[in-house]
Amino acid sequence: MTFLHRLPDLAPTRGPLYLQLERVLRDAILDGDTSSSAPLPTERDLAERYGISRMTVRRALGDLQRKGLLTRRQGAGTYATARAITQTSGLKGLGEDMAISAGSTHSVVTDRSIDTVTPQDAIALDLGPGARVYRFKRVRYVDLSPIATEISLVPWYCLPSEHTVEESLYSALREAGNAPSRTLQRLRAIALAAEEAKLLKVETGTPGLFIERQGYLRDGRTAELTRAWYRGDASDVIAEISLTEGATNLSKDQATPFVPA
């Protein structure tokens, strides 16, 4: 089945057709059903698929382009944007967030070890002095470009071995029965230091995005502490925030930003 025919149908009762088409295409992009190396269906194909006008299709595509999810290349078609898209909803790892980006993604573990937790990290992880942690260093790529470097610390009780982690930390945690049920995440704009800039192949001082996340098990214990440095020229933070009817403040869940490991 082709990408075009995998797309869900529209329904006139669900609101304006251009908004429905925009959501359908947005979800396909964020779910990783598209690639930055292959064009999306043409306006004509989308119009025929849904029995709508090309003007309606063009409006939906234009909105997605303004939101940074699509790029139109003269004479070549419309493509999903090859950028790392970090969502602020959905409980996934930092790598899995990247896996929903428009490009082909993969991670390389550059170092893995069993360490004694430092005093500073012991506080963040709520561990006692001298506790063992698994330490992972990874570089993440979109297509062939390094997009992020990260360091993850995992308490000894969450994984059977440091060798269980390949590309995705959260996949390994799920397989071990210790997937985080909630996270606390902080994002901050930074100038990349020399070490991170070298790994990401940019100049020292280049604008970047720093993300620190703590994941927690259902019983309240800490499952991970991840610090990640993203290239600022290739990262978008996209948040979809809903307000309950008549509410003046965001709910706790909606107001707490989230990103992945």
The pLDDT, as a whole number, for residue 245 is: 53
Query: For the chain, what is the mean pLDDT?
Result: 81
pLDDT tens digits, one per residue of 137-150: 999 888 778 999 99
Q: Between vectors from CA 95 to CA 94 and to CA 98, what angle results, nearest 5°?
A: 95
Confidence of residue 240 (pLDDT cuts 50, 70, 90): low
Q: For residue 89, what pLDDT band results from cuts at 50, 70 and 90?
A: very low
Q: When comparing pLDDT for 185 and 240, which is higher?
A: 185
* Three-state secondary structure string covering the chain: CCHHHHCCCCCHHHCCHHHHHHHHHHHHHHCCCCCCCCCCCCHHHHHHHHCCCHHHHHHHHHHHHHCCCEEEECCCEEEECCCEEEECCCCCCHHHHHHCCCCCEEEEEEEEEEEECCHHHHHHHCCCCCCEEEEEEEEEEECCEEEEEEEEEEEHHHCCCHHHCCCCHHHHHHHCCCCCCEEEEEEEEEECCHHHHHHHCCCCCCEEEEEEEEEECCCCCEEEEEEEEEEHHHEEEECCCCCCCCCCCCCHHHHCCCCCC
Q: Where are the domains of the chain?
A: 3-80, 84-255
Q: What is the pTM of this model?
A: 0.61
Count of CB atoms situated within 10 Å of the CB of 89: 16
How far apart CA 182 and CA 199 sit, in angstroms, is: 30
pLDDT at 84: 44
To the nearest whole percent, how much of the chain has pLDDT over 70?
Answer: 78
CATH topology of domain 3-80: Arc Repressor Mutant, subunit A (1.10.10)
In DSSP terms, 5 is beta-bridged to none
Residue 255: the pLDDT is 35
Question: Could you tell me if 209 and 232 are in contact, meaning their C-beta atoms sit under 8 angstroms apart?
Answer: yes
Contacts of 252 (CB under 8 A, 6+ apart): none
Given a cut of 50, is residue 241 above it in pLDDT?
yes
Mean pLDDT within 28-42: 75
According to the model, what pLDDT value does residue 1 have? 57
Residue 156, classified by CB atoms within 10 Å of its CB into exposed (0-12), middle (13-18) or buried (19+), is middle
Question: With 80 as the cut, is the pLDDT of residue 86 above it?
Answer: no
Higher pLDDT, 255 or 233: 233
Predicted confidence band of residue 106 (pLDDT cuts 50, 70, 90): confident
- What is 84-255's CATH number, 3.40.50.970, 2.40.30.10, 3.40.1410.10, 3.40.50.300? 3.40.1410.10
| pLDDT tens sequence across 122-137 | 988 999 999 999 999 9
Predicted local confidence at residue 236, as pLDDT: 66
Q: Which of 95, 69, 65, 64 is nearest to 80 (CA)?
A: 69
- Distance (Å) of CA 183 to CA 24, 133, 153, 217: 28, 19, 14, 9
pLDDT band at 24 (very low <50, low <70, confident <90, very high): confident
pLDDT of 252: 37
Question: Residue 103's pLDDT band (boundaries 50, 70, 90)?
Answer: low
Determine the pLDDT at residue 85. Answer: 47
